[in-house]
């Protein structure tokens, strides 16, 4: 026995599962057996006593979880930081533990009232004394970590827990003597695992599987070379033995019902400072401001969710709620992240939501010079679809050519900025890096404005079949308005448009001036021309809906013919192609671009097999568009979506709801998804346009 090592325990006099504050407690209310709990606790008590000294704190009636003394606080040397429990069900334990620490000569530190930290449940000293591992994500707040570092004068390494079964760090992480670590990697996020791997060499990491983890193998008490736990598989026992540890198993099933085992039932109160460590905590905090219809438009929820999902934590400093329907709200939120890297990730997403730094913290954007053509600096800011400004020489400069997934290049004199795709950045270009001095302008509507929007009732939503007609009415109205004012509508379409009998309707739209550019692949053109020349689409007779003998070769014959003419336009000019979608484009001077793909037959002479050239053509044709109709092509629609700035109405029609959701989920109110057959959609659209009165006569479908 090592007398100098002391543990604090609390007898289970009042222990029971009285409430549910973790997944282990669910279904276990009052299911633990008092006698068995006492017996299991006694066994553990004697095992610990054989290896160290045990102090006892008097159990308090009404606080059943006081038995889990690991959550009393965190001890280092003669200092004790008392816990601030997250759940009110445990907050009543705080004064009892505080009293014990004071009575036993500890200098007691207390965190601010609203800053949860659950003691040694979420803070574990490296057994070599080099640093403190601190967990957050469920019970303890990340913002408590800088206090631990300051008060205990030690480096704090923050780890984010992501599996609610392992809600405290000590349920899935156990530093052992000799620098070993017993842990369950799946309980941590990617960044935390990276951090653990950087700190603990592979030969010292004992990563366990889920089967051991759910037996609380990591919730172990380590005294020198002894490890005391509820249960370990044979393979885990062997791995621990190979590392020089002997395992004592003692059943603690009654306490597992409340989500705790041997480590939770003990608090090591002798934690001498081993190494001369000093305060250091990479936790970073920044304040952001959000303004607008924060509640109506859901911006506040989105912002807080992305902070937490991104691995950070937040504190709302103030929230001024607009009192009238039309008034805007404003909030200041303190964001904390476990490292600079995570903070930059979170911050760049907050910028996309329209967040800005408070005035006193606004600074110029940082730029780095490109040294290799086509390669941006590592930390370049990735653009979104939203209008963006960068601050250069104390001035906010609007970014030109806005599109998503680009870099921002600032001109030499700092008066201009533009979006640039990676392959176009040139040596010497100044590219914006990091997240400082960047703001985006989200067109956030209030509830009333949202309701007035033509597409509002589905705002960024997906329609069901019965709503299709209603959507079509609205789209028809928009199309008519855009055409009448000389605006631009672009269509991207896949071959399904032809297979579903939509060719005649799309041809009508082109002929009647509703379409100013057509984007697609080889297939839409091939099948359209096949239908125009041979009456089939992929060998299926379009009138009768049955395959034609030898029809599977039709499309190749068609490709061959167009190749003979050299281009679709030439085939039209020479009277070979006399109807269909491509014919109407040529006849009505509607520019089109066909982008190639690996599966293309032929291809047609017009199909751009050089994809960089195709992308350039696409983005030129999209310029100035007010509306883009995306008709049953996932490939081309995604390509188009990536090039299109916010403010352009996008209507995505597809039979597959998942595709529609993916394409219309741009976080913008201008996107509309319509789940339906594209042939039916086009037919309804043309009918609706016919119904609308117009200064222009509407010709008949052919």
Ligand X SMILES: NC(=O)c1ccc[n+]([C@@H]2O[C@H](COP(=O)([O-])OP(=O)(O)OC[C@H]3O[C@@H](n4cnc5c(N)ncnc54)[C@H](O)[C@@H]3O)[C@@H](O)[C@H]2O)c1
**Interacting stretch for ligand X, rule CB under 6 A, among 268-276, 359-367, 515-523, 693-701?**
515-523
513: left (phi over 0), alpha (psi -120 to 50) or beta: left
Query: Residue 664 CB, nearest distance to ligand X (Å)?
Result: 13
- Judged by beta carbon, residue 390 or residue 614, the one nearer ligand X is 614
* Choice between 355 and 628, CB closer to ligand X: 628
| Cβ-contact 594, 520 below 8 angstroms | yes
Q: Which is nearer to ligand X, 9 or 622 (CB)?
A: 622
CB of 530 to ligand X, least distance (A): 10
Spatial contact of 211 and 232, defined as CB atoms under 8 Å apart: no
Q: Distance between CA 505 and CA 701 in Å, rounded?
A: 7
Q: In this chain, which of 116, 521, 645, 673 binds ligand X, going by CB under 6 A?
A: 521
Which of 66-74, 128-136, 313-321, 516-524 is the region at the interface with ligand X (rule: CB under 6 A)?
Answer: 516-524
Q: How many CB atoms sit inside 10 A of residue 697's CB? A: 6
Residue at shortest CB range from ligand X: 521
Position among 522, 537, 619, 683 found at the interface with ligand X (CB under 6 A): 522
Non-local (6+) Cβ contacts of 91 within 8 A are 84, 85
**Contact with ligand X (CB under 6 A) among 88, 545, 599, 700:** 599
Q: Which of residues 647-686 bind ligand X (CB under 6 A)?
A: 654-656, 659, 677-678
Question: Under rule CB under 6 A, which residues in 605-644 are in contact with ligand X?
Answer: 632-636
With 0-12 / 13-18 / 19 or more C-beta atoms within 10 angstroms meaning exposed / middle / buried, residue 92 is middle
Per-residue contact track with ligand X, 481 to 500, x per CB under 6 A?
-------------xxx---x
Contact flag: residue 523 with ligand X (CB under 6 A): yes
In the bound complex, what is the minimum distance in angstroms from residue 461's beta carbon to ligand X? Answer: 18
> How far is residue 59's CA from residue 202's CA, in Å, rounded to a whole number?
42
By C-beta, is 219 or 593 nearer to ligand X? Answer: 593
The C-alpha atoms of residue 74 and residue 109 are separated, in whole angstroms, by 10
- 3-state DSSP helix/strand/coil % of the chain, to nearest 5: 35, 25, 40
Q: How far apart are CA 79 and CA 511, in angstroms?
A: 82
Cβ nearer to ligand X, comparing 71 with 522: 522
What is residue 612's three-state secondary structure?
helix
Residue 463 binding ligand X, by CB under 6 A: no
Question: How near is the Cβ of 604 to ligand X at its closest, in Å?
Answer: 8
Identify the residue whose tokens are 């282990």: 24
Q: In what order do the strands lie in the sheet with 181-183?
A: 173-175, 181-183, 205-207
Q: Is 304 exposed, middle or buried (0-12, 13-18, 19+ CB in 10 A)?
A: middle
Q: Does 155 bind ligand X (CB under 6 A)?
A: no
Buried b (16+ CB within 10 A) or exposed e, 178-198: ebbbbbbbebbbebbbebbee
With CB under 6 A as the contact rule, the residue among 601, 611, 657, 702 that binds ligand X is 601
For the record, the structure tokens of 192 come out as 């935390």
Give residue for tokens 């222009």. 696
Site size for ligand X (CB under 6 A): 24
Is the Cβ of residue 120 or residue 496 nearer to ligand X in the bound state? 496
List the beta strands (DSSP E) in 91-164. 107-110, 123-125, 132-136, 156-160
Supply the minimum distance, in Å, between the C-beta of residue 37 and ligand X: 57
Kindly state the smallest distance separating residue 472's Cβ from ligand X, in Å.
14
Q: Name the residue nearer to ligand X (CB basis): 299 or 518.
A: 518
Q: Contact between 118 and ligand X (CB under 6 A)?
A: no
SS3 of 635-682: HHHHHHHHHCCCCCEEEEEECCHHHHHHHHCCCCCCEEEEECCHHHHH
Contact call for residues 403 and 422 (beta carbons, < 8 A): no
Contacts (CB under 6 A) with ligand X, residues 568-597: 597
Least Å from the CB of residue 132 to ligand X: 51
Q: Which is nearer to ligand X, 311 or 521 (CB)?
A: 521
Q: How far is the CB of 626 from ligand X (least distance, A)?
A: 23
* Residues forming the active site: 168, 264
CB atoms < 10 A from the CB of 334, how many?
15
Residue 600 binding ligand X, by CB under 6 A: yes
Minimum separation from the CB atom of position 587 to ligand X (A)? 22
Q: Largest Cα–Cα distance in the chain?
A: 102
| Residue selected from 468, 471, 498, 526 as contacting ligand X according to rule CB under 6 A | 526
Task: Give the list of residues 6+ apart from residue 541 with CB closer than 8 angstroms, or none.
Answer: 535, 547, 548, 551
Q: Which is nearer to ligand X, 259 or 580 (CB)?
A: 580
Binding region for ligand X (CB under 6 A) = 494-496, 500, 521-523, 526, 555, 597, 599-601, 632-636, 654-656, 659, 677-678
């Amino acid at each position: 026995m090592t007398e100098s090592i002391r543990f604090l325990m609390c007898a289970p006099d009042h222990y029971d599962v009285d409430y549910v504050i973790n997944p282990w407690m669910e279904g276990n209310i009052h299911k633990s057996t008092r006698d068995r709990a006492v017996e299991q606790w006694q066994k553990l008590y004697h095992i610990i006593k054989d290896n160290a000294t045990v102090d006892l704190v008097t159990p308090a009636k009404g606080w059943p979880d006081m038995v889990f003394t690991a959550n009393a606080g965190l001890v280092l040397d003669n200092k004790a930081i008392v816990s601030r429990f997250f759940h009110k069900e445990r907050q009543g334990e705080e004064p009892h533990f505080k009293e014990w620490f004071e009575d036993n000569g500890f200098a007691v530190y207390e965190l601010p009232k609203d800053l949860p930290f659950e003691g040694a449940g979420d803070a574990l000293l490296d057994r070599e004394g080099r640093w403190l591992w601190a967990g957050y994500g469920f019970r303890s707040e990340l913002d408590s970590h800088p206090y631990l570092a300051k008060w205990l004068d030690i480096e704090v390494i923050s780890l984010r827990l992501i599996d609610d079964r392992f809600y405290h760090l000590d349920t899935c992480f156990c530093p052992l003597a000799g620098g070993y670590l017993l842990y369950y990697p799946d309980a941590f996020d990617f960044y935390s695992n990276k951090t653990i791997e950087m700190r603990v060499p592979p030969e010292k990491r004992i990563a366990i599987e889920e089967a051991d983890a759910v037996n609380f193998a990591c919730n172990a008490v380590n005294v020198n070379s002894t490890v005391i736990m509820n249960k370990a598989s044979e393979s885990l026992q062997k791995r621990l033995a190979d590392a020089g540890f002997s395992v004592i198993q003692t059943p603690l099933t009654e306490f597992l019902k409340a989500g705790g085992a041997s480590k939770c039932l003990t608090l090591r109160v002798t934690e001498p400072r081993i190494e001369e460590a000093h305060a250091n905590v990479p936790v970073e905090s920044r304040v952001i401001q959000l303004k607008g219809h924060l509640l109506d438009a859901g911006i506040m929820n989105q912002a807080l969710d992305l902070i937490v999902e991104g691995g950070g934590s937040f504190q709302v400093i103030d929230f001024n709620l607009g009192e009238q329907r039309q008034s805007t709200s404003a909030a200041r939120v303190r964001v904390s992240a476990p490292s600079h890297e995570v903070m930059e990730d979170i911050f760049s997403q907050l910028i996309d939501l329209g967040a800005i730094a408070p005035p006193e913290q606004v600074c110029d954007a940082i730029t780095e010079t490109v040294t290799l053509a086509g390669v941006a600096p590592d930390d370049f800011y990735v653009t979104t679809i939203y209008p963006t400004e960068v601050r250069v020489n104390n001035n906010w400069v609007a970014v030109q050519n806005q599109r998503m997934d680009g870099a921002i290049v600032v001109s030499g004199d700092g008066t201009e900025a533009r979006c640039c795709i990676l392959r176009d950045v040139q040596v010497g270009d100044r590219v914006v890096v990091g997240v400082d001095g960047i703001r985006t302008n989200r067109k956030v509507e209030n509830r009333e404005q949202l309701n007035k929007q033509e597409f509002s009732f589905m705002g960024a939503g997906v329609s069901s079949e019965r709503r299709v007609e209603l959507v079509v009415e609205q789209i028809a109205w928009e199309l008519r308005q855009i055409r009448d004012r000389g605006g631009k509508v672009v269509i991207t379409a896949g071959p399904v448009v032809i297979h579903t009998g939509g060719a005649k309707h799309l041809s009508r739209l082109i002929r009647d001036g509703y379409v100013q550019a057509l984007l697609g692949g080889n297939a839409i053109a091939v099948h359209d021309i096949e239908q125009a020349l041979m009456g089939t689409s992929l060998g299926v007779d379009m009138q009768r809906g049955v395959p034609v003998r030898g029809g599977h070769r039709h499309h190749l014959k068609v490709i061959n013919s167009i190749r003979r003419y050299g281009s679709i336009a030439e085939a039209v000019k020479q009277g070979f192609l006399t109807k269909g979608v491509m014919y109407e484009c040529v006849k009505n001077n509607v520019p089109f671009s066909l982008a190639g793909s690996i599966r293309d037959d032929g291809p047609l002479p017009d199909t751009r097999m050089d994809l960089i050239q195709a992308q350039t053509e696409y983005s030129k044709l999209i310029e100035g568009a007010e509306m883009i109709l995306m008709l049953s092509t996932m490939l081309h629609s995604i390509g188009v979506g990536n090039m299109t700035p916010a403010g352009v109405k996008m209507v995505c029609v597809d039979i597959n709801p998942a595709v529609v959701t993916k394409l219309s989920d741009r976080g913008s109110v201008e996107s509309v998804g319509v789940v339906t057959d594209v042939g039916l959609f086009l037919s309804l659209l043309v009918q609706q346009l016919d119904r609308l009165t117009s200064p222009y006569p509407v010709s008949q479908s052919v």
